[in-house]
């Protein structure tokens, strides 16, 4: 079953730059997908349209049965509650400790305390940070901060985890750790993972589905793909 | 339950934010305080003015003296004409005998002098005592009555009282103007305060949005923050109303300048005014922060 389906999607920014040209794409539930492509290939735009940070100019984007392209600003939060989002720059709150950062997601949607506690600890265990719940972000390494961000993204048990270059700031070993964590989440929770990256090594090692973008167009979608130098 | 948890969070955040940006909050709070002090003074003054003008208005009567020797036909003619006038609220007819009796009751001197007056040699005149609907137009009505045939003299109120009421009313209008201007300034200051809070929490807000906080959840803390600023700003003005008015009232024994101007008794008046002041403070805070949220929080 398709979790995500793009139909004739194009995106033209107000400054006249077209980032995506007439894209058709579907992603199955439970899959692990790498979105790769050089700078200006439309990766980020595609990712942003999935969580409705950007609206497509034309076409429809169905995420979990909802047409995100037609979603009104007021209703965006309903979509976001079904997604987890991870960024290159972690985006943690510096004044909150690890536990509070993860619990923040639960708090803003008004969850009960016990439920919050149970889910936060479960998520932190999954990313292997249960022993650092009282630390503050500036006391953690980059890889650990990113794992906190992943815990925050999955604490609400989303169907879809969207990662925008989550390993961009990390060295190869830490990057691999992060991807392993994502794979673990994909396997144990059945969460669909979409990860934009330009880390060749990771893509080649993981042998997952690969979506290749170039100059705003989808040029290849391949199971067990590799980072093809040729594109 | 969920709503209460969210509200609890919002209130907690609002108080935190007020103290985190204390210097800025202080500017807003002092502006609200000054505004509310003037607001409460004008409320106290205008309520009192309204109170005693009403008292005075209640006593304002046009006395119409009918010429001596008017027949009962003439009197009923006058009666009909007064009845037709727009501004006439109610009126009573008092014959000269009745006037005499009333005056006799008032003082012993009158009593002895008037004792041997009878129907024939009573020099008093038959009167109509007319109450009007609108005191401002009392002179017009009096003029109109004067024109009726067989009416000798028309008297109404003391000109001074009339002027005093008008003066107080214009003072009231000026006070309202000042209050409105101050409220506008305060609203702008609050917009600024909340704007800075919003900017200082931009990161937090963007993360809230990413993890699925509803607009309500994002906006409420800022709106409550504005209300908290208003509430804190209302503390001093409320004290002024509660203790100040009481002291003022006691000092003057409930009357200002003369027995004509009677002050409103403090209880429950001061509690009512305090509630109004708190309400205005919170409302002003809310309006300020709501417009800041609408302007600077793109949700």
pLDDT tens digits, one per residue of A192-222: 999 999 888 899 988 899 999 998 999 888 8
- B153 by DSSP, 3-state: which? strand
Q: Which residues of A touch B203 (CB under 8 A)?
A: 91, 93
Q: Identify whether A87 is part of a domain.
A: no
Task: Supply the angle between the helices B159-200 and B202-210 in degrees, to the nearest 10.
Answer: 70
Domain locations in chain B?
A: 2-56+162-296, 61-156
Is A167 found in the same domain as A120? no
Domain boundary among A121, A142, A157: A157
- CA dist B186 and B270 (Å) reads 24
Shortest Cα distance from B14 to chain A (angstroms)? 15
pLDDT in tens, B98-135: 888 888 887 788 888 877 777 777 778 888 888 877 77
If you compute the radius of gyration of chain A from its CA atoms, what whole number of angstroms results? 17
Asked if B6 reaches chain A (Cβ–Cβ under 8 Å), the answer is yes
Q: Identify whether A219 is part of a domain.
A: yes
Domain boundary among A100, A133, A157: A157
Q: What average pLDDT does the structure give for chain B? A: 81
pLDDT in tens, B231-260: 999 999 999 999 999 898 888 887 777 666
With a cut of 70, say whether residue B272 has pLDDT above it. Answer: yes
Per-residue model confidence (pLDDT) at position B133: 78
Number of domains in chain A: 2
Q: Which residues of B touch A51 (CB under 8 A)?
A: 210
What is the maximum span of chain B, computed from C-alpha positions, in angstroms?
Answer: 100
- CA dist B202 and B210 (Å) reads 12
Greatest mean pLDDT range, A1-5, A96-100, B83-87 = A96-100
Is A54 found in the same domain as A101? no
Is A42 found in the same domain as A9? yes
Q: What average pLDDT does the structure give for chain A? A: 91
Helices (H), chain B: 2-20, 22-59, 72-84, 96-106, 108-114, 138-146, 159-200, 202-210, 215-239, 245-251, 266-296
* Those residues with Cβ within 8 angstroms of residue B59's Cβ, 6 or more apart along the chain or in another chain: none
With a cut of 70, say whether residue A229 has pLDDT above it. Answer: no
Is A137 found in the same domain as A108? yes
- CA dist B169 and B31 (Å) reads 27
- CA dist A228 and B14 (Å) reads 53
Asked if B169 reaches chain A (Cβ–Cβ under 8 Å), the answer is no
Residue of B12, B16, B211 to mutate, interface with A, max A Cβ within 10 Å: B211
- What ipTM did this prediction achieve? 0.83
Q: Which helix (H) or strand (E) holds B133?
A: none
The more confidently predicted of residues B275 and B23 is B275
Domain residues for A109?
A: 92-157
The more confidently predicted of residues A111 and B119 is A111
The more confidently predicted of residues A74 and A125 is A125
Is A102 found in the same domain as A146? yes
The more confidently predicted of residues B23 and A115 is A115
Q: Do B208 and A108 touch (CB under 8 A)?
A: yes
Closest residue of chain B to A51, computed from CA coordinates: B210
- CA dist A89 and B286 (Å) reads 35
> What are the structure tokens assigned to B175, written together?
């006070």
Per-residue model confidence (pLDDT) at position B8: 81
Asked if B213 reaches chain A (Cβ–Cβ under 8 Å), the answer is yes
Q: Which residues of B touch A105 (CB under 8 A)?
A: 211-212
CATH number of A48's domain: 3.40.50.300
* Those residues with Cβ within 8 angstroms of residue B21's Cβ, 6 or more apart along the chain or in another chain: B193, B196, B197, B200
Per-residue model confidence (pLDDT) at position A45: 92
* Those residues with Cβ within 8 angstroms of residue B50's Cβ, 6 or more apart along the chain or in another chain: none
How many Cα neighbours within 13 Å face the side chain of B218? 25
Is A131 found in the same domain as A77? no
Q: Do A108 and B203 touch (CB under 8 A)?
A: no
- CA dist A71 and A56 (Å) reads 11
> What are the structure tokens assigned to B32, written together?
């609200």
Of B6, B207, B213, the CB nearest to A91: B207
Is A97 found in the same domain as A192? no
- CA dist A53 and A61 (Å) reads 13
Q: Do B212 and A108 touch (CB under 8 A)?
A: yes
* Those residues with Cβ within 8 angstroms of residue A53's Cβ, 6 or more apart along the chain or in another chain: none
- B126 by DSSP, 3-state: which? coil
Asked if B204 reaches chain A (Cβ–Cβ under 8 Å), the answer is yes
Asked if B200 reaches chain A (Cβ–Cβ under 8 Å), the answer is no
Is A96 found in the same domain as A76? no
CATH topology of domain B61-156: Alpha-Beta Plaits (3.30.70)
Is A217 found in the same domain as A128? no
Q: Do A77 and B214 touch (CB under 8 A)?
A: yes
- CA dist B178 and B141 (Å) reads 35
With a cut of 80, say whether residue A7 has pLDDT above it. Answer: yes
Closest residue of chain B to A80, computed from CA coordinates: B212
For residue B228, the tally of other CB atoms under 10 A from its CB is 21
Closest residue of chain B to A155, computed from CA coordinates: B211
Q: Tell me the mean pLDDT in the region B258-280.
A: 85
Task: Supply the angle between the helices A113-126 and A142-154 in degrees, to the nearest 10.
Answer: 130
Q: Identify whether A73 is part of a domain.
A: yes
Domain boundary among A157, A188, A207: A157
The more confidently predicted of residues B55 and B230 is B230
Tokens 């609200």: give the residue. B32
With a cut of 80, say whether residue A230 has pLDDT above it. Answer: no
Angle made by CA atoms B108, B110, B115, in degrees to the nearest 5: 95
pLDDT in tens, B161-218: 667 667 777 877 887 788 788 888 888 888 887 888 788 778 888 888 888 888 888 8
- Answer whether B88's CB lies under 8 Å from B156's CB: no
> What are the structure tokens assigned to A70, written together?
């037609």
């Amino acid at each position: 079953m398709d979790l995500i389906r793009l139909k004739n999607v194009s995106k033209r920014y107000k400054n006249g730059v077209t980032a995506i040209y007439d894209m058709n794409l579907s992603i199955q539930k439970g899959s692990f997908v790498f979105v790769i492509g050089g700078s200006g290939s439309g990766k980020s735009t595609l990712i942003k349209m999935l969580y409705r940070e950007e609206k497509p100019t034309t076409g429809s984007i169905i995420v979990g049965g909802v047409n995100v392209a037609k979603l009104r600003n007021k209703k965006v939060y309903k979509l976001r509650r079904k997604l987890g989002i991870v960024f290159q720059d972690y985006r943690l709150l510096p004044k909150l400790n690890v536990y509070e950062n993860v619990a923040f997601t639960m708090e803003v949607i008004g969850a009960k305390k016990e439920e919050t506690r149970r889910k936060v600890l479960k998520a932190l265990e999954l990313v292997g940070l249960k022993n650092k719940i009282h630390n503050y972000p500036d006391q953690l390494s980059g890889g650990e901060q990113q794992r906190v961000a992943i815990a925050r993204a999955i604490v609400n048990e989303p169907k879809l985890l969207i990662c925008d270059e989550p390993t961009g700031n990390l060295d190869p070993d830490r990057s691999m750790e992060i991807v392993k964590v994502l794979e673990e989440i994909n396997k144990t929770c059945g969460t669909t993972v979409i990860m934009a990256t330009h880390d060749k090594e990771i893509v080649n090692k993981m042998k997952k589905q690969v979506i290749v973008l170039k100059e705003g167009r989808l040029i290849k979608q391949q199971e067990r793909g590799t980072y093809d130098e040729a594109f | 339950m969920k709503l209460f948890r969210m509200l609890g969070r919002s209130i907690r955040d609002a108080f935190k934010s007020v103290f985190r940006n204390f210097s800025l909050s202080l500017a807003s709070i002092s502006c609200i305080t000054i505004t509310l002090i003037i607001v409460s003074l004008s409320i106290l003054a205008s309520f009192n003015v309204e109170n005693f003008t009403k008292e005075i208005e209640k006593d304002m009567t046009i006395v119409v003296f009918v010429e001596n020797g008017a027949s009962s036909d003439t009197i009923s003619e006058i009666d009909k004409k007064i009845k037709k006038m727009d501004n006439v609220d109610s009126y009573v007819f008092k014959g000269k005998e009745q006037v005499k009796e009333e005056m006799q009751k008032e003082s012993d001197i009158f009593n002895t002098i008037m004792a041997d007056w009878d129907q024939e040699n009573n020099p008093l005149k038959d009167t109509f005592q007319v109450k009007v609907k609108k005191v401002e137009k009392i002179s017009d009505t009096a003029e109109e009555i004067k024109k009726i045939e067989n009416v000798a003299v028309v008297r109404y109120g003391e000109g001074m009282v009339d002027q005093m009421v008008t003066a107080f009313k214009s003072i009231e209008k000026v006070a309202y103007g000042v209050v409105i201007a101050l409220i506008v300034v305060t609203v702008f200051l609050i917009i600024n305060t909340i704007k800075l809070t919003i900017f200082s929490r931009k990161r937090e807000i963007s993360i809230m949005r990413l993890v699925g906080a509803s607009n309500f959840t994002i906006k409420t803390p800022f709106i409550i923050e504005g209300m908290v600023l208003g509430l804190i700003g209302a503390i001093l003005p409320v004290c002024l109303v509660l203790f100040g008015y009481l002291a003022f009232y006691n000092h003057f024994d409930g009357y200002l300048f003369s027995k004509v101007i009677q002050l409103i008794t403090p209880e429950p008046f001061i509690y009512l005014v305090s509630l109004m002041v708190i309400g205005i403070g919170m409302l002003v805070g809310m309006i300020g922060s709501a417009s800041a949220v609408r302007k600077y929080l793109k949700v």
